Structures are given as structure tokens and as C-alpha cells.
Amino acid sequence: MTGQTIQAPYSKSGNGEALSSVFKYLGLTLQRQDEEGPWVSTRSTPEGVVSSSREISSGLVPNVKDMGLKDAVYLMESRGLKVVSDGRGTVRGQSLAPGSIIRKGTEIKLDMSIKEG
């Protein structure tokens, strides 16, 4: 099969350890751009998927854009926020600005890529 191009897969941002495990299981290469913390951002390049650290501060609203709903809900609820989502898939937006101070019990709406209804 000469001349065949392999397209790098799409990957959501999220938990770096889980992402590495999935890529290893599938026999795919995940390129690390820097020393990673537990949460990463990903991007597809012609050479494959590249991951880089995503800073998540405990007292501030995290940026969960491009994450799956499971990781986004975990991050928000573990910080005392109440999550409401309008679908499933990948987070496309959030009602509380990333980096703003968390007020426990505040509701945050996550705008998802796949709408239900």
C-alpha cells in the first residue's frame, strides 16, 4: 500500500494518563510537547497528535474547552461547581470564564458539540 497517507486521529483534551493509555493500546504515537501535569491539551498535526500541559488551578474556574463531558464534569464538580450540560460530545464553551474565582455551589453551563433534543 504505497503512497497511502495516514491521517492523525482527532483527540479530545483531558486526562493525560488516560489519553496515553488509549494511544498505547491502539498502537499510536502521542507526542509530548513538554513535561505534562495530569491534564493536557491536544492538537493534531501531520506527524500525529501532540499533547501539552494544561494548567488547572484549584481556586479558579478551569478551562474545559475541547474536553469530553466526563473530564469536564469531574474538574468542575471536584471544585464545588454544579454542572449543567446541553448535550454530549466535546465542550465548545462554558458559562463561567476560565480563570475566574470559584464560588462553591455556583452553576456552570457547558455548551456541548452534540445537542440533544
Whether residue 9 lies inside any domain: the answer is no
The pLDDT of residue 4: 57
* Cα 4 to chain centroid, rounded: 30
pTM, to two decimals: 0.84
How many distinct structural domains can be found in the chain?
Answer: 2
The pLDDT assigned to 5 comes to: 55
At 1, is the pLDDT very low, low, confident or very high (cuts 50, 70, 90)? very low
* Section 89-105 average pLDDT: 97
Does residue 32 fall inside a structural domain? yes
Residue written as grid cell 469531574: 74
Domain that holds residue 91: 69-115
The rounded distance, in Å, linking the Cα atoms of 102 and 99 is 9
